């Protein structure tokens, strides 16, 4: 649903090994409907040929600060005025320092100073460089001035190091750029989101849990925060970094998630239950490690409270969105849960598939309300989360929001 049609995106490519990924970024931005122009620093030209970016953007690439031909057509002031958004991707440590200090000795530096456009920056560098206080101070300063910082992610780097500093994926960068043109759809709305699995202890070393990675709930939290909401993310144990601009409450068991949800929902407008909450817990949790038995071990389980039903019935005005994890009769079973749990909407996903649902990067769902059913085709959880947030914003009864805003 995010679109960049009629948007002018100016991509500044700087000189690092990740510069080759700018080709994919330019292609994705054009797929989203943007008109794209590219500025390369002289160092970037050492890593990727301008012709590649010219072919993909469909426009001449701008390199020289003083270029007689460019000045006659698109000089730095024209480029600065033309852009709706300046995206610097990848942004090296040196280019970040240049932007912070306002140096105008490259075309990119001059355009940055001159442009009234929104600025987004996707850094990429060695992990030691990223973590250096000088670099982190530069990032903080650019953020303070209003730039959106996209990434970096953590992992194996081109130099062989492992750590933070990898360029965010081209898909995430393009999606964040697209999202920046639809801000504020949940401005002033307080959203509580549960994510990940819960763990129900058997003894001090064993537990009952499930395959939820938290990716879906975390993507929703990031999308809601990007849409201007105040977000509390109540998360079971996952291996994900907290999304930016969200308040994270970490829990382990379903009961802890229930208590945190009840507390958070007292003052909220929207609750989204993306967590895979364990339906049962052990009646007796052994205080010592249970020794291996000669024969079978029988555990007695009791039902956990249904969190989403409890928060809905305790908070009259709360707009409640559930998820239905189904392996058969997807929409029919989801409809039953929608009714039984008295939800405003339910997101149905088929968790028998390995390419979507649990622990996958993508998902494919139905958005179901008491009077509508919309199929959302397979896409990244990041993109899908934005679409779901749009559905929620469309559906929210603003009078209800106003009622409990005080």
Nearer to ligand PMT, 165 or 312 (CB): 312
Backbone angles phi, psi at 242, to 5 degrees: -60, 135
Nearer to ligand PMT, 180 or 349 (CB): 349
Of the candidates 358, 62, 17, 401, the residue with the CA atom closest to the CA atom of residue 228: 401
Torsion on CA atoms 158, 161, 164, 166, rounded to nearest 10: 0
Find all residues with CB under 8 Å of 140, minimum gap 6, and list them.
Answer: none
Closest contact distance (angstroms) between CB of 362 and ligand PMT is 10
Nearer to ligand PMT, 46 or 241 (CB): 241
Closest contact distance (angstroms) between CB of 166 and ligand PMT is 21
Nearer to ligand PMT, 161 or 362 (CB): 362
- Catalytic residue, chosen from 159, 265, 282, 391, is 159
* Separation CA 401–CA 270 (nearest Å): 9
Nearer to ligand PMT, 62 or 381 (CB): 381
* Separation CA 8–CA 87 (nearest Å): 11
Closest contact distance (angstroms) between CB of 34 and ligand PMT is 29
Find all residues with CB under 8 Å of 31, minimum gap 6, and list them.
Answer: 174
Q: Residue 159 catalytic?
A: yes
Closest contact distance (angstroms) between CB of 361 and ligand PMT is 9
Torsion on CA atoms 145, 147, 148, 154, rounded to nearest 10: -90
Closest contact distance (angstroms) between CB of 43 and ligand PMT is 39
* Separation CA 159–CA 349 (nearest Å): 40
The edge-to-edge listing of strands for the beta sheet with 85-91 is 61-62, 35-40, 8-13, 85-91, 118-123, 148-149
Nearer to ligand PMT, 181 or 323 (CB): 323
| Tokens of residue 368, six digits | 């179901």
Helices (H) and strands (E) in the chain, counts: 15, 20
Find all residues with CB under 8 Å of 56, minimum gap 6, and list them.
Answer: 23, 26, 27, 30, 36
Helix pair 107-114, 93-101: axis angle to 10 deg: 40
Closest contact distance (angstroms) between CB of 369 and ligand PMT is 15
Residues shown for the chain = 406
Closest contact distance (angstroms) between CB of 98 and ligand PMT is 39
* Separation CA 219–CA 279 (nearest Å): 24
* Separation CA 280–CA 98 (nearest Å): 56
Nearer to ligand PMT, 106 or 210 (CB): 210
Closest contact distance (angstroms) between CB of 385 and ligand PMT is 10
Pairing of strands 206-208, 200-203: antiparallel
Ranges of H-type helices in 180-317: 215-226, 254-265, 307-314
List interacting residues with ligand PMT (CB under 6 A): 194, 196, 212-216, 254, 273-277, 279, 304, 306-308, 322-325, 337, 349, 351, 357-359
Nearer to ligand PMT, 100 or 201 (CB): 201
Catalytic residues: 159
């Amino acid at each position: 649903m995010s679109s960049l049609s009629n948007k002018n995106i100016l991509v500044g490519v700087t000189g690092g090994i990740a510069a080759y990924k700018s080709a994919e970024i330019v292609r994705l931005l054009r797929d989203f409907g943007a008109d794209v122009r590219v500025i390369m620093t002289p160092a970037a030209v050492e890593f990727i040929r301008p012709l590649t970016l010219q072919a993909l953007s469909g426009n001449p690439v701008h390199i020289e600060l003083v270029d007689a031909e460019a000045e006659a057509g698109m000089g730095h002031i024209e480029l600065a005025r033309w852009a709706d958004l300046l995206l610097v991707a990848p942004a090296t440590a040196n280019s970040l320092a240049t932007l912070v200090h306002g140096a105008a000795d490259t075309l990119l530096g001059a355009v940055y100073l001159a442009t009234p456009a929104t600025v987004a920056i996707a850094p990429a560098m060695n992990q030691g460089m990223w973590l250096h206080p000088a670099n982190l101070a530069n990032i903080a300063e650019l953020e303070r001035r209003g730039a959106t910082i996209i990434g970096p992610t953590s992992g194996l780097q081109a130099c062989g190091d492992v750590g933070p500093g990898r360029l965010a994926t081209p898909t995430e960068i393009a999606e964040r750029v697209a999202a920046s043109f639809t801000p504020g759809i949940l401005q002033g709305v307080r959203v509580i989101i549960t994510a990940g699995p819960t763990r129900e202890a058997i003894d001090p070393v064993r537990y009952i849990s499930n395959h939820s990675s938290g990716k879906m709930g975390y993507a929703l939290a990031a999308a809601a925060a990007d849409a201007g909401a105040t977000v509390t993310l109540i998360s079971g144990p996952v291996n994900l970094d907290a999304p930016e601009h969200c308040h994270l409450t970490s829990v382990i068991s379903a009961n802890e998630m229930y208590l945190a949800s009840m507390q958070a929902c007292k003052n909220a407008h929207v609750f989204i239950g993306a967590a895979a909450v364990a339906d049962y817990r052990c009646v007796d949790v052994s205080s010592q490690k249970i020794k291996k038995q000669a024969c079978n071990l029988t555990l007695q389980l009791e039902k956990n409270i249904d969190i989403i039903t409890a928060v809905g019935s305790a908070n009259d005005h709360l707009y409640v969105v559930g998820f239905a994890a189904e392996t058969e009769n997807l929409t029919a079973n989801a409809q039953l849960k929608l009714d039984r749990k008295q939800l405003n909407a339910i997101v149905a996903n088929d968790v028998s598939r390995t390419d979507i649902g649990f622990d996958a990067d993508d998902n494919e769902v139905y958005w179901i309300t008491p009077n509508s059913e919309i199929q959302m085709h397979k896409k990244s959880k990041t993109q899908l989360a934005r679409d779901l947030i749009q559905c929620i914003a469309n559906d929210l009864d603003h009078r209800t929001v106003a009622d409990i805003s005080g």
